[in-house]
């Protein structure tokens, strides 16, 4: 019995040392040390031994088991290390190979216009404010001096969600929201970019969804001349130093007086061409002095405070600036169109 056990040990360790992978090693473990293995088989004969021999044989059987187990463990460590080395060798990277070129994206032309305008106004001390696209009727209309049955609501056909909520038709509700937050204390100096929605039929110059940028300044002694100076800086920055602006009387319920602002044509310089429709001027935005009702409704004392506001369509500005003829190009994301606006920074 003793000999048989020794034999088994030698035989098992021999196989262990010859095993070439973890699977083979595991098979050896199962076949020698498992319940149905030869060692268990030998030990079954222990019953036939004398009481003195039994503990000795038990100890020997344990020794043999331990020897085989540690033989297997050691081999396993070797095999695992070898596997790691092999993997590392296979995965070496040749750092001298040329890399794959990375295709960089580009800002959408509308984003560029918005950022350009934001930068300009941030430079003049404005902060950027945002508001919800699903807006309350109150902020979109009522707080802007457009009560429920006001005829001027027809100027902006709206998508209503419930009777009291709609997709905002302009960024002006952000004015009302911001003023309300200021709790009657000036100054307020904000610029609000964002998406707006109107029930228009889409064509080359209309879209049911577009972007606006709104500006609002409220403080003491804010005058129409401040508005004019500000817009002049804006027009020169965006359309070129030689530009001039002119104001034409207009109507918005939330401003009084209200004006439409034109910029002198950047193509013909004022002589008259197809872009300015032979007038020398191009309309770019609506603006005016904040209506006292709007100030009061948002908690400002209109005797102490005054302000100006302006709002423009970002697509319109981008179309003029980049000579884009169809507003729908901005939304269809044709790369041939977008690639025209590649900037290499």
Q: Write out the residues near ligand PHE by the rule CB under 6 A.
A: 170, 172, 214, 252, 255, 286-288, 309-311
Cβ–Cβ < 8 Å for 131, 170: no
Query: Least Å distance between CB 169 and ligand PHE?
Result: 7
Q: Which is nearer to ligand PHE, 77 or 206 (CB)?
A: 206
Query: Least Å distance between CB 287 and ligand PHE?
Result: 5
Q: Which is nearer to ligand PHE, 145 or 287 (CB)?
A: 287
Query: Least Å distance between CB 332 and ligand PHE?
Result: 24
Structure tokens at 329: 């190009």
Residue 256 annotated as binding?
A: yes
Q: Which is nearer to ligand PHE, 56 or 124 (CB)?
A: 124
Q: Which is nearer to ligand PHE, 25 or 327 (CB)?
A: 327
Q: Which is nearer to ligand PHE, 5 or 261 (CB)?
A: 261
Instruction: Give the nearest residue (CB) to ligand PHE.
Output: 311
What does DSSP say about strands 127-128 and 188-197: parallel, antiparallel, or unpaired?
parallel
Phi and psi based region of residue 134 (left: phi greater than 0; alpha: psi -120 to 50; beta: remaining): beta
Query: Least Å distance between CB 93 and ligand PHE?
Result: 57
Query: Least Å distance between CB 235 and ligand PHE?
Result: 16
Binding-site members for Mg(2+) are 256
């Amino acid at each position: 019995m003793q000999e048989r056990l020794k034999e088994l040990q030698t035989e098992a360790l021999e196989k262990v040392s010859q095993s070439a992978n973890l699977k083979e090693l595991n098979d050896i473990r199962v076949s020698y040390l498992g319940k149905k293995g030869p060692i268990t088989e030998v030990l079954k004969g222990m019953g036939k031994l004398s009481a003195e021999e039994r503990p000795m044989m038990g100890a020997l059987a344990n020794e043999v088991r331990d020897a085989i187990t540690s033989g297997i463990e050691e081999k396993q460590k070797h095999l695992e290390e070898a596997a790691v080395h092999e993997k590392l060798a296979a995965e070496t990277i040749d750092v001298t190979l040329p890399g794959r070129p990375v295709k960089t994206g580009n800002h959408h032309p509308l984003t560029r216009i918005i950022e350009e305008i934001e930068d300009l106004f941030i430079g003049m001390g404005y902060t950027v404010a945002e508001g919800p696209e699903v807006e309350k009727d109150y902020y979109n209309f009522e707080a802007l001096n457009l009560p429920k049955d006001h005829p001027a609501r027809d100027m902006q056909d709206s998508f209503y969600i419930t009777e009291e909520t709609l997709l905002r038709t302009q960024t002006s509700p952000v004015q009302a929201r911001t003023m309300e937050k200021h709790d009657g204390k000036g100054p307020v100096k904000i610029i609000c970019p964002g998406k707006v929605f109107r029930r228009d039929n889409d064509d080359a110059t209309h879209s049911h969804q577009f972007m606006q940028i709104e500006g609002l300044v409220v403080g003491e002694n804010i005058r129409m001349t401040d508005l004019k100076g500000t817009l002049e800086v804006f027009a020169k920055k965006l359309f070129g130093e030689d530009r001039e602006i002119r104001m034409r009387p207009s109507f918005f319920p939330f401003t009084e007086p209200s004006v439409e602002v034109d910029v002198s044509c950047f193509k013909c310089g004022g002589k008259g061409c197809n872009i300015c429709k032979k007038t020398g001027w191009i309309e770019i935005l609506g603006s005016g002095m904040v209506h006292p009702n709007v100030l009061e409704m948002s908690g400002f004392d209109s005797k102490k405070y005054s302000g100006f506001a302006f709002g423009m369509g970002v697509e319109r500005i981008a179309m003029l600036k980049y000579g884009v003829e169809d507003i729908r190009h901005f939304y269809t994301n044709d790369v041939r169109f977008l690639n025209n606006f590649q900037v290499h920074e």
